[in-house]
């Protein structure tokens, strides 16, 4: 049973879901507070993508509930959830056949025109590599730049919570570090100001724990551990599972 957090921005409880007759999630739940960075750690096939898709409404929950800012969003369409402040970056993250600027406009499609224009300028200031190539096709970017564009595209929506599926996917270790460092700038009131962006990052790469205020581990569609990074290290079995014998 996942702990209910009173001041949670996002709270999911007892989620069961899957594909056709194949059940993947067995009562999984998690919570993210406003401005908090949470890492959902799990091996290949643990069900991370499936859980994120339920949270953002891309596949239905068979059982359980998802709440955003106290509102039950379990049955809401994805676009409604986006308007309420959820943004989702899938493993692919961008539309390769569109330009950088077009990708950002699609990311912010529900924002007012003037707000979006100002936001895109802010994002270009944070991502100068993208600013210099506004009219380049996203498909022409390197893997690392494409990931940066994926992050910028999700942020163009001005979300309260950025949900990311394996931002490290397909990246070399150097680019992984760059992505971590960019996300670190957005963490809790960094770039973009305001109350601070909350992040939920599904990963198998433990390097992302550098960003984590709290961690959940997912195994076989169930949450096995919930706590701080220090508590994860303190658990011998989990430490061995995720960090090896070192
Ligand atoms: P990965 O790192 O590989 O993305 P994950 O933790 O995100 O792993 P999921 O993608 O959620 O895991 O997959 C969980 C289980 O659901 C796996 O056994 C996978 O084979 C299965 N699965 C995923 N997508 C589908 C689908 N479209 N149809 C049927 N089974 C699926």
Note down pLDDT in tens along the chain; length 246 residues: 556 677 899 999 999 999 999 999 999 999 999 999 999 999 999 999 999 999 999 999 999 999 999 899 999 999 999 999 999 998 878 999 999 999 999 999 888 999 999 999 989 988 888 998 999 999 999 888 898 899 999 999 999 999 999 999 888 888 899 889 888 988 865 555 445 799 999 999 999 999 999 999 999 999 999 999 999 999 988 888 888 854
Q: How far is the CA of 51 from the centre of ligand 1 (A)?
A: 10
Tell me, what's the pLDDT at 192? 53
Best residue for ligand 1 mutational test, from 16, 24, 90 (most atoms within 8 Å of Cβ): 24
Claim: this prediction has a pTM higher than 0.85 = yes
Domains of the chain: 10-85+159-243 (3.40.50.300)
Q: How far is the CA of 118 from the centre of ligand 1 (A)?
A: 38
Check: CB of residue 61 under 8 Å from CB of residue 16.
Answer: yes
Tell me, what's the pLDDT at 47? 97
Best residue for ligand 1 mutational test, from 15, 41, 49 (most atoms within 8 Å of Cβ): 49
Tell me, what's the pLDDT at 188? 60
Tell me, what's the pLDDT at 186? 83
Nearest ligand 1 atom to the CA of 43 is 6
Tell me, what's the pLDDT at 193? 47
């Amino acid at each position: 049973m996942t702990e209910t957090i009173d001041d949670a921005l996002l709270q999911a409880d007892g989620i069961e879901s899957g594909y056709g007759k194949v059940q993947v999630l067995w009562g999984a739940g998690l919570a993210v507070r406003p401005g908090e960075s949470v890492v959902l750690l799990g091996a290949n096939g643990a069900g991370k993508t499936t859980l994120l898709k339920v949270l953002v409404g891309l596949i239905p929950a068979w059982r359980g509930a998802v709440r955003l800012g106290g509102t039950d969003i379990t049955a809401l369409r994805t676009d409604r959830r986006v308007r309420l402040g959820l943004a989702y970056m899938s493993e692919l993250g961008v539309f390769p056949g569109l330009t950088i600027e077009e990708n950002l406009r699609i990311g912010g499609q529900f924002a007012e025109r003037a707000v979006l224009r100002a936001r895109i300028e802010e994002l270009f200031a944070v991502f100068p590599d993208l600013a210099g190539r506004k009219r380049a096709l996203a498909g022409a970017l390197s893997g690392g730049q494409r990931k940066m564009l994926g992050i910028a595209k999700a942020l163009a929506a001005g979300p309260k919570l950025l949900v990311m599926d394996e931002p490290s996917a397909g990246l070399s270790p150097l680019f992984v570090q760059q992505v971590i460092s960019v996300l670190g700038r957005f963490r809790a009131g960094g770039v973009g100001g305001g109350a601070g962006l909350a992040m939920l990052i599904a990963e198998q790469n433990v390097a992302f724990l550098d960003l984590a205020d709290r961690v959940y581990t997912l195994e076989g569609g169930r949450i096995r551990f919930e706590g701080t990074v220090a508590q994860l290290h303190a658990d011998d079995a989990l430490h061995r599972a995720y960090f090896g014998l070192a």
